[in-house]
Structure 1
């Protein structure tokens, strides 16, 4: 009986001793649990978990975001979108005037013969020929929309503009045997040419003294003398038996006409 009690006592003492030795291990076991929980928290979230509901204060109402994006896109492209104001319809451009009058009369000889050129319709220029220093080309351009008529040749007078009395005045020779239509037609936008040779012989002696200006009246048959245009000839111009040709549509033809001049106008 004692032996049994002693054995039981020994067992109790041993159990107590074992219990006293366990606190460190128990603390270790209890601290290991939080460590595993920390590791679980650092891992990625469960994808099956539902996402939190969107905040109504941070996100715009449904559909507003796409509308703003559309508006921004249309603004950058310059095209009118559904939310932008419609542009005013384009006004039709005014109709251009019909070119019928020009197409009908611009190149009409019969119209030109009945409608002499006016000084407001034409421009007159004098050009010196580089290949022939004694020759001058009179250019009469029709700036109007319809053809007009000039006399057979311009009225030309050579004189001394520095003289109080004008000094001697010289009128060039012109071609003989004129006939045909009563005027030289000049089409709209075209130029008529007449050539004057101041000294066809090329002589330097016996020339008219002091002649330094050429007066040109484009149409001596219909224009007033007040519409005469003065052109300086420059110093050293030699004038001797000058010749003047008819109006032509090219300079070459005007030169040929001038060479045939042989009578006083």
Structure 2
């Protein structure tokens, strides 16, 4: 009988110890390791961090920077284009603003290798572009004559058309070439002619702006030809050879 009681007591004690250990393990799982408590915190922390990152350094910042820079650059280009297109030294400006004789330098020189030709040089000395008639108004006469109604006028190219005026930019020169005697004839030439009269812009300038240039004695003049204004002497010569209409 004693032996049986002893075994029963051991069994009861063993069961009690097992129960205590189970309770201790359950308590450690909840509070000791923090696994169950930390789980939700770990899951929510990355989400919050990602959300915060998206709001502070995400597409809004990048997109804003790019768009603002692009707009500034585009505006800058537009400003430069407007300035270039709407300036005072452009062809379009010249078409609307005839040249002022006070801002022109007009000269007449001989042409090397072509004794019957003269080069008319009209230089824009102003700071803005201006427009000239397609060719200068030219006549040839006697410097001592009181009546110039019979002065000789050259042929010019017919129907120049195109732009409303010949544009001359600031500091640039327009050239026109006249051949006093294209045929090279030595007889039948007009007598007594010793002067070349030039009005740089026959469309807008008054006759009082006409300038007189001496040709010297013995100048031969017969059916002279005058070309259109051009940017080079060579082009002005080519234009002169096409003169076929009385000016």
Q: TM-score, normalised by structure 1?
A: 0.60
Residue in structure 2 matched with residue 260 of structure 1 by the alignment: 242
Mapped pair 1:251 → 2:227: no
Find the counterpart in structure 2 of residue 73 from structure 1: none
Residues of 1 paired with 2:192 and 2:148: CA distance? 10
Query: Which residue number corresponds to residue 181 of structure 1?
Result: 163
Match of 2:204 in 1: 222
Q: Secondary structure at the match of 1:226?
A: helix
Larger radius of gyration: 1
Structure 1 residue runs without a partner (length 5+): 1-100
Aligned length: 166
The 5 Å alignment of 1:80-159 reads 105=87, 107-159=89-141
Structure 1 residues 157-196: aligned runs within 5 Å: 157-166=139-148, 168-196=150-178
1:227 to partner: Cα distance: 0.4
Secondary structure, aligned partner of 2:239: helix
- Distance in 1 (CA, whole Å) between partners of 2:231 and 2:108 is 16
Question: How many angstroms apart in 2 are the aligned matches of 1:102 and 1:124?
Answer: 29
Matched, 1:211 2:176: no
Deviation by residue 1:55-95 (Cα, 9 ceiling, x = unmatched): xxxxxxxxxxxxxxxxxxxxxxxxxxxxxxxxxxxxxxxxx
Shift of 1:167: 7.7
Partner of 1:241: 223
Cα displacement (A) at 1:106 = 5.3
3-state secondary structure, aligned to 1:127: strand
Q: Distance in 2 between the 1:199 and 1:167 partners?
A: 21
RMSD, aligned α-carbons: 1.9
SS in 2 for 1:110: helix
**Secondary structure of the equivalent of 2:95?**
helix
Distance in 1, matches of 2:84 and 2:152, equals 40
Quote how far apart the aligned CAs of 1:107 are: 3.8
| Residues 182/235 of structure 1: CA separation in 2 closer, same or farther (3 Å cut) | same
- Which structure shows the bigger proportion of residues in strand conformation? 2
Q: Which runs of 5+ in 2 are unaligned?
A: 1-82
TM superposition shift of 1:219: 0.2
- Greater share of residues in helix: 2
SS of 1:257's equivalent in the other structure is helix
